[in-house]
A and B are shown apart, each in its own frame.
Chain A
Amino acid sequence: MAELAVKLPGMELKNPLIPASGTFGYGMDHLDFFDVNECGSFSMKGTTLEPREGNALPRIAECAGGMLNAVGLQNPGAREVIESVFPELRKIYRGKIFANVSGFSVEEYAECARLLAAEDIVGAIELNISCPNVHGGGMSFGTDPKTAAEVLRAVKKTSDKPVYVKCTPQCPDLPAMCEALEEAGADGLVLLNTFLGMRLDYRTGKPVLANVTGGVSGPGIFPLALQRIYQISPRVSIPIIGCGGVCSGRDVIEMMSAGASAVEIGTSNLIDPMSVPRIKNELEAALEELGIDDINEIIGRAFK
């Protein structure tokens, strides 16, 4: 069996499979299906300093090859997560998680990250400057490299834990953004969050989502995410976690070949709650077929 372990700054993962933020709750909703300890790690639901109710309904729509969501960062707030959720999570999960942090101001991002980074169960901060579903925040930090660097620096100061920045494809110059983030001290990049999209009800001609627009995710965005990773990986030296449409072991191999050191799996967890163990089996089988003994050999293979 091929070696699946990968090393990331501050995180040693037994395999490169990480359930993506917003599709895995706080790690407790997939327990009926498999042991969450089988994941390399996971990224918790996007959390803000204060509790948020999220957007009005409907929050979900469908499209060929994927789905749209406009959940709008519904979460109980960082303090409640620390006081009520983490104690439960510790009972069933032995690893470290990515704490996905969102906010509406530099100060709020920093305070939220400070509180979460102080928790032993948090291995790294995943700075979400890419949420397309909340107005006046989230994504606006992700489209301007200067503001993004400012948030990142403020968050870096709050702890020694590594900070991964999750980027949005809506950024007009994503490669320049990624270079700026590396320059400003990012320990890694998560590429990518959802693509902005919408659906209209054909009967009424009105938007399906109450938020009007939503984030497109799922298998249909895989080639789009892959292209960004392929484009950006030669331009940065910090590790990239690939994310977007990954549904199979072969998808994982493609993304890692394009330069990702690990992958996040999102929408696939919603459609097939057994995605992680299934993809792990597929990955092992595919590596065996290719005669590869260590998954690290395939990282950036496209450029070798």
Chain B
Amino acid sequence: MKITDFKILKNEWVSPDCFELSLEPWEDLDVRPGQFLELSVPGKTLRRPVSVCGRDGRILRLCVRAAGEGTVILSGLKNGVINAIGPLGNGFSLPGKDPCCTSGAAGCGHGSGMYKEGSAAESRLLIVGGGIGCAPLLLLAEEAVKAGLEVTAVFGFRDREHALFEREMKALALRSIYCFDSEGDDAVSVVRREGLTDLPFRACGPLPMMEGLASAMSSDGEFSVETRMGCGFGACMGCSIRTVSGMKRVCKDGPVFRKGEIVWQSLR
């Protein structure tokens, strides 16, 4: 984890409410899928947490939804330099491979190095995203395909206009299913309908989607969750959620937690 400046190479709208930033760090950063940056926003006291959605060599790509004042300011930064802390958080693990837990990282939300998928399922992975929650999952999908996993991705959006990453997902060797609220369909229904509820999974999206998925899945998996952050690196306890093994900081022990760890009610 470092605090460093990034050169803004590109910043353009990719949907009616989302824009994509390409950032070149001053110092190289080693980023895992599901990790995030704390971006400094001109005129705002607190930094904004944003996941890394793609990597081209040393260049990092972020996809941001203009959700409020800070992200709207970010959407207007077309060039120059932006300061960020990162990479932050534990990130997702890949079935069969578990860089975070095997290295014995303390307090990691995946559990204490015990994470093992059923070996039959180990070669398959289900990735479920909703809206801007698909951002960290794009990088995960890329890495999972690279690792030789058989990936099925189900991405849900409000409507076709708001869909993200269609081009990138098409280019990957995986099965991807897009679904839209406007057409009366949603990611959890697709997962049920397609009979995918026993696959190891990784998910990120709005809370109702994640809670729905947690109860739909018979298998184990990981969720990336969101809370407001004071610091992003573990110092303030502003982001803590209750888990079955006590209070955990979303920024440092998370944002990725195993299904069985999360006490959903503490996130509502």
A250 at the interface (CB under 8 A from B): no
Residues of B within 8 A of A45 (CB): 237
Interface assignment of A137: CB less than 8 Å from any CB of chain B: no
Question: Are the C-beta atoms of A273 and B3 separated by less than 8 Å?
Answer: yes
Judge if A22 is at the interface, Cβ distance under 8 Å.
Answer: yes
Residue of A nearest to B240 (CB): A74
Are the CB atoms of B237 and A267 closer together than 8 Å?
Answer: no
Interface of B is mostly: loop
Chain A contacts for B241, CB-based, 8 A: 57
* Distance between B116 CB and nearest chain A CB, rounded to angstroms: 28
A30 adjacent to B235 (CB under 8 Å): yes
- Judge whether B252 and A29 touch: CB under 8 Å: yes
Stretch at the interface among A3-11, A63-71, A252-260: A63-71
| A29 in contact with B228 given A53-B242, A54-B240, A57-B241 (CB within 8 Å) | no
Could you tell me if B237 and A29 are in contact, using CB atoms closer than 8 angstroms?
no
In the complex, how many residues of chain B place their beta carbon closer than 8 angstroms to a beta carbon of chain A? 28
Which one, B44, B85, B242, B252, contacts A273 given CB within 8 A? B85
Neighbouring B residues of A59 by C-beta, 8 Å: 228, 230, 237-240
The chain B residue sitting closest to A219, CB to CB, is: B45
Cα distance A193–B207 in the bound complex, in angstroms = 34
Q: Given known contacts A53-B242, A58-B228, is B266 in contact with A29 (CB within 8 Å)?
A: no
**Given A32-B1, A32-B2, A61-B228: A271 and B233 interface contact (C-beta under 8 Å):** no
Is residue B231 within 8 Å, beta carbon to beta carbon, of the partner chain? Answer: yes
Minimum CB–CB distance for A86 against chain B, Å: 16
The reply to whether A69 and B230 form a contact with Cβ atoms under 8 Å apart is yes
Q: Is A62 an interface residue (CB 8 A)?
A: yes
In the complex, the chain A residue whose C-beta lies closest to that of B1 is A32
Q: Would you call A25 and B230 a contact (CB within 8 A)? A: no
Is the beta-carbon distance between B46 and A71 smaller than 8 angstroms? no
Across the interface, which residues of B come within 8 angstroms of A71, CB to CB?
A: 236-238, 240
* Chain B residues, CB < 8 A from A58: 227-228
Q: Is the CB of B228 within 8 A of A270?
A: no
A37 on the B face (CB < 8 A): no
Contact A33 B46 (CB under 8 A): no
A-B contacts at CB below 8 angstroms, number: 93
Residue B47 at the chain A interface, CB threshold 8 Å: yes
Residues of B within 8 A of A69 (CB): 230, 236, 238
Given known contacts A273-B3, A274-B3, is B235 in contact with A60 (CB within 8 Å)? no
B267 at the interface (CB under 8 A from A): yes
Q: Are B1 and A270 in contact (CB under 8 A)?
A: no
Q: Does B247 contact A (CB under 8 A)?
A: yes
Q: Are A270 and B237 in contact (CB under 8 A)?
A: no
Decide if B234 touches A60 in the complex (CB within 8 Å): no
> Least Cβ distance of A175 to chain B in Å?
30
Min distance, Cβ A80 to any Cβ of chain B, angstroms:
11
Give Cα A25–Cα B252 distance, bound, in whole angstroms.
Answer: 12
- A24 touches B (CB below 8 Å): yes
User: When chains A and B are docked, how far (Å) is the Cα of A109 from the Cα of B162?
Assistant: 54
A56 and B233 form a contact (CB under 8 A): no
Are B47 and A271 in contact, CB atoms less than 8 angstroms apart? Answer: yes
- B230 contacts A270, C-beta separation under 8 Å: yes
A269 at the interface (CB under 8 A from B): yes
Partner of A218, one of B45, B233, B242: B45
Indicate whether A23 reaches chain B with its CB closer than 8 angstroms: yes
Q: Please name the residue on chain B nearest to A73 by beta carbon.
A: B237
Bound CA span A50–B267, Å? 24
Closest B-chain residue to A26, C-beta based? B235
A63 to B230, CA, bound (A): 12
Q: A57-B241, A65-B45, A67-B45 are in contact. Are A273 and B266 (CB under 8 A)?
A: no
Residues on the A chain within 8 Å of B21, using CB: none
Complex: A256 Cα to B229 Cα, angstroms = 31
Report the Cα distance A24→B237, complex, angstroms: 10
Q: A30-B233, A58-B227 are in contact. List 8 more A-B contacts (CB 8 A).
A: A23-B231, A32-B233, A57-B267, A59-B228, A62-B44, A65-B45, A71-B236, A270-B230
A sample of 15 inter-chain contacts (CB < 8 A) reads A24-B235, A25-B234, A25-B236, A30-B233, A53-B247, A54-B240, A57-B241, A59-B228, A59-B230, A61-B228, A62-B44, A62-B45, A69-B230, A71-B240, A74-B240
Top 3 closest pairs, chain A to chain B, by CB: A29-B235, A270-B231, A29-B234
